[in-house]
Each structure stands twice: as structure tokens, then as C-alpha cells.
């Protein structure tokens, strides 16, 4: 909850913000922006007063950010008479820092948000972000033309968009990721590996034939085996809906046969030494850096193997666990939102529109300055210069329309076409577009989350005997209000489902 005095937002205020979607937040400068936009979508900068936007992005500070920002501002001044001030906040600090910044009432303009950092849904519900429907119609037409419409549809809250998703992979697909060195060394057949159980003979080979410091299954405490479940509140809270559901009913995942089987398999792997002994308390694992591993689990995208191999410095290959699926959370995997306190929402949307439609700007903010941070091979391909890794390595997925960016020389020319086909091929999760309002059960959700932190890492990683600990977890979840939350969730979902076309 935001702690700033006067920022105790109620549902009434949230509804008022939703109503403001028709007027773009009510900025007094909106008339000039609207007059400046020509019928063809271009902007007459002579009709715009100069504006400076404050932008918060996720990722470590970059030594050359000021240098690149100067070039960005020269370009933006010509395009929309605007400059930007970018502040980077490191991965682990981002969510907490942005909560403090937002609670303070700082009138920043734009910030990165997502389903996993500076959480989009709860912050939209609290009134932290500006409603964007009208702003999109007036100043973001290029965004609407570029984006798969399911991005915007899947991130609406009560029919209102509060963020602009990055144009990237819309679907989510889990894969087993293999260190090719050991696949080749032992001629391991990964072509038929799909399930957790399929890994067993491969893990056994590595355990028996490699030194003890080579980890067969290299996963940390956050590891969760893939289950054919559309999780409602993350894997800490055992409520979900089967992906192939026919009755659209939520289930207690602790009681499903798939969940119980996965726990038994992980227990077997733990006892066999296929995972690290400290896995239940291991926040992260440096397997990519050390190369001392056989397999881990990751979310993929088209040609991800090439990017992972380039970053690791050795070959990585993958096998899918599932077909691609579009979840509400995957649509919100990378977004930018305009602050509810922004004094320049119209200009902010103009900037976001450029970031999603203008290839020069999009590549400048990600790759830096040509000749300094990268060199062009041709109009499509670039090669990183040492300065990029040393002084300007930006998180590209978090910077808007990824499909406008240059390719590296080891990437296929059809990469972005492959992304489009990947998204088009995906199945849609049964709850896609549904956003659960946890307000009526916020106390129970908090209690369930605490139970999950107590039990799930140990259960999922095989560190404890599921025959003993699963009944204890079930009891604790029940006592914390699992049934009440599930009933409220089902009620809201049924209401939402009845209104879908």
C-alpha cells in the first residue's frame, strides 16, 4: 500500500481515474498537442512548447547514458519538441524504489512496469498510472497499428489500458535448456525430452560420469516444474485452471495428480544428487557463467538459443516442454506506463508512440551511438563494439517495440517474422484478459503468500518428503483462507466470462 499522506486511494478514486480515460488525464496542455498532430500523424513541432519528460527504466546504471541521452534529446527536440531525463534503477531495487517514488507523489512521467517488476496490475488498481485509452486514440495510433491487439486487450483493467506493452513475444513457452557440450560428449538424445520425468536418464549420466561440481539439473529455489495449469496468483498460491479446461473452474493445484507426481519426481532427483543440496535456499545460480551444468528451465522466444549462446560464450540448445500459450501475465511481461501524477501525459504518449514506431529512436536508446557503441554491417545487421558491453548495455526487451531493432550477425534475417508467427501460433489461456481484483480478500492473499514462501520452495525443489510436507501445506493453506480466495476468484471470473463476446 502507498504510505504517502493523502495517497490512500480508494475504489472511488480508481473509478474516477477510469472515467478520466476519456480525457487523457485532463492535462491543460492537451489542446496544443492535439492541434500539433497533423492528419497524417506527423507533428508540427512549431505548435508545441518545449517539454522535459522524466523516465524511469529498469536495469543497471550505464556509464554512457548521458552521452546517448544527449543524442536522443537532439532527435526528440526535432520530432516533438521534447527532451527526456532517464534514470536507471537496478533489477533488484526497481520495484521497491518505484513504490517509494510513486508514494511520494513525484510527478515523473513514464516508468517501466510489468507482471514481475513494479507490478502492473496492483499499481494500476491503486491509481499509480494514468488511464490511456483516449491518449492512445489521439497520440498513439502508431502503437495500435504495430501491436498485436491481444497485447492491449490482455492488459486492460476493467476495460481501461494503463500501460503500453512492448512489442515482442506475446506467448510464453517453457523449455529445457541444455549445455550442448555435455549433450555432445555423451551423445544424449534430447529429442524426446518433454517432461520432468524424461530428464532422468540424462541426469543420471552426468551424475555418474562427471565431477561433483557439475550440476545435472541447475535450478534455484524459485524452480517450479511445468504443469498444464493457468496459475491465478503465481505458484506460491495453489490455485489454477487447467489449460484445457472444459468447465472453466479453478482447482486447488495441491490436489491435482500432476502436482503430486512432480513433487515425487523432484524428491527422487534431490535424493539422487541431481540438484544442489542447498537448492531450497539458493536465490540464484551462476550456471551460465561457470558452464558447469547440463540442463535448466527457461522461458523461450524464437531463436533464443542463439542469444543465450552468444551471452554464455558456448553453445546452448533447447527442447520445448509445451506449446506456446498466451497468458494475461505474458502480455504484461514488459510495459511502460504514464504516471498518474504526470503533468505531460500527451507528450509522454507522443514519446511512447515514437519509441514504438521510429526505428532510429528505438535503436538509439538500445544500442547507443553508431561508431561508438556498435558498427553497422548493413541496414539490418550490426556488430557490438567493446564500448557497448563496457559502457552501454541496455535491457532491450524493456524499451518498447523490439521488432524495430537491428540484428546481430549470428541472427537470422527472418527473426522478427518468426516472432510474429510464434505469437500467431500460440493458444490462448482460458483466463486471458481476466484480472483478479484481490481487494475483497487481500488479507487472505497476503496470508497465503506467506504460507507459499514457507512451503513451496522446499516442496518444488524436492528438499523435503512430499508425503509428509504436502498434508502440512494443505492444512496451512486452508487455515490461511484458500477456500475463501478461490470462491472470490471463481465469482469474479464467472462474472467476467459472462460478459465476453
Domains of the chain by residue range:
11-167+330-367
pLDDT at 23: 39
Examine the pLDDT at 64 and tell me if it is beyond 60: yes
φ/ψ of 392, rounded to 5, equals -155, 70
φ/ψ of 224, rounded to 5, equals -135, 125
pLDDT-derived band at 26, boundaries 50, 70, 90: very low
Mean pLDDT of the chain: 91
Kindly state the average pLDDT of the residues 173-201. 97
Examine the pLDDT at 252 and tell me if it is beyond 50: yes
pLDDT at 458: 92
Q: What is the pTM of this model?
A: 0.80
pLDDT at 319: 97
Where is average pLDDT lowest: 7-16, 192-201, 387-396, 443-452? 7-16
Query: Could you write out the DSSP letters of every residue in 308-362?
Result: HHHHHTS-EEEEESS--EE-HHHHTSSEEEEBTT-S-HHHHHHHHHHHHH-HHHH
Beta bridge partner(s), residue 293 = 215
pLDDT-derived band at 257, boundaries 50, 70, 90: very high
CATH superfamily of 11-167+330-367: Periplasmic binding protein-like II (3.40.190.10)
Kindly state the helix (H) or strand (E) to which residue 492 belongs, with its residue range: helix 482-498
Amino acid at each position: 500500500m502507498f504510505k504517502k499522506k493523502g495517497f490512500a486511494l480508494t475504489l472511488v478514486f480508481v473509478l474516477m481515474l477510469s472515467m478520466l480515460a476519456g480525457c487523457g488525464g485532463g492535462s491543460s496542455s492537451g489542446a496544443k498537442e492535439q492541434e500539433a498532430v497533423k492528419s497524417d500523424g506527423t507533428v508540427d513541432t512549431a505548435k508545441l512548447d518545449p517539454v522535459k519528460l522524466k523516465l524511469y527504466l529498469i536495469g543497471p546504471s550505464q556509464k554512457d547514458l548521458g552521452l546517448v541521452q544527449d543524442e536522443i534529446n537532439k532527435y526528440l527536440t526535432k520530432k516533438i519538441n521534447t527532451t527526456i531525463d532517464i534514470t536507471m534503477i537496478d533489477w533488484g531495487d526497481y520495484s521497491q524504489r518505484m513504490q517509494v517514488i510513486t508514494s511520494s507523489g513525484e510527478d515523473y512521467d513514464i516508468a517501466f512496469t510489468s507482471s514481475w517488476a513494479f507490478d502492473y496490475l496492483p499499481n494500476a488498481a491503486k491509481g499509480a498510472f494514468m488511464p490511456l485509452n483516449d491518449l492512445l486514440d489521439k497520440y498513439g495510433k502508431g502503437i495500435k497499428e504495430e501491436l498485436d491487439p491481444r497485447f492491449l486487450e490482455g492488459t486492460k483493467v476493467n476495460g481501461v489500458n494503463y500501460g503500453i506493452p512492448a512489442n515482442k513475444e506475446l506467448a510464453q513457452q517453457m523449455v529445457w535448456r541444455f549445455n550442448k557440450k555435455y549433450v555432445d560428449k555423451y551423445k544424449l538424445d534430447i529429442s524426446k525430452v518433454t517432461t520432468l520425468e524424461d530428464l532422468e536418464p540424462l541426469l543420471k549420466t552426468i551424475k555418474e560420469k562427471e565431477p561433483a561440481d557439475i550440476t545435472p539439473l541447475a535450478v534455484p529455489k524459485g524452480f517450479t516444474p511445468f504443469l498444464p495449469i493457468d496459475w491465478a496468483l503465481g505458484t506460491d498460491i495453489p490455485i489454477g485452471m487447467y489449460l484445457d479446461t472444459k468447465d472453466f473452474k479453478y482447482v486447488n493445484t495441491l490436489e491435482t495428480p500432476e502436482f503430486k507426481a512432480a513433487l515425487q519426481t523432484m524428491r527422487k532427483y534431490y535424493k539422487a544428487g541431481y540438484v544442489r543440496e542447498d537448492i531450497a535456499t539458493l536465490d540464484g545460480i551462476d550456471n551460465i557463467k561457470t558452464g558447469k551444468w547440463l540442463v535448466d528451465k527457461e522461458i523461450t522466444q524464437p531463436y533464443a538459443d542463439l542469444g543465450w549462446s552468444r551471452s554464455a560464450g558456448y553453445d546452448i540448445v533447447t527442447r520445448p516442454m509445451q506449446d506456446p500459450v498466451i497468458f494475461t501475465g505474458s502480455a504484461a511481461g514488459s510495459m511502460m506506463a504514464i504516471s498518474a501524477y504526470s503533468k505531460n501525459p500527451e507528450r509522454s504518449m507522443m514519446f511512447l508512440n515514437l519509441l514504438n514506431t521510429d526505428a532510429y529512436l528505438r535503436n538509439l536508446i538500445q544500442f547507443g551511438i553508431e561508431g561508438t557503441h556498435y558498427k553497422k554491417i548493413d541496414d539490418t545487421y550490426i556488430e557490438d563494439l567493446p564500448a557497448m558491453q563496457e559502457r552501454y548495455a541496455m535491457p532491450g526487451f524493456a524499451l518498447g517495440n523490439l521488432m524495430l531493432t537491428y540484428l546481430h550477425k549470428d541472427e537470422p534475417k527472418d527473426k522478427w517474422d518468426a516472432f510474429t508467427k510464434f505469437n500467431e501460433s500460440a493458444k490462448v489461456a482460458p483466463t486471458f484478459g481476466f484480472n483478479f481484483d484481490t481487494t475483497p480478500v487481500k488479507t487472505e492473499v497476503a496470508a497465503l503468500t506467506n504460507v507459499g514462501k514457507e512451503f513451496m520452495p522446499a516442496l518444488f525443489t524436492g528438499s523435503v518428503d512430499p508425503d509428509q510436507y504436502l498434508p502440512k501445506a494443505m492444512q496451512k493453506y486452508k487455515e490461511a483462507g484458500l477456500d475463501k480466495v478461490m470462491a472470490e476468484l471463481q465469482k469474479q471470473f464467472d462474472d467476467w466470462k459472462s460478459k465476453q463476446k
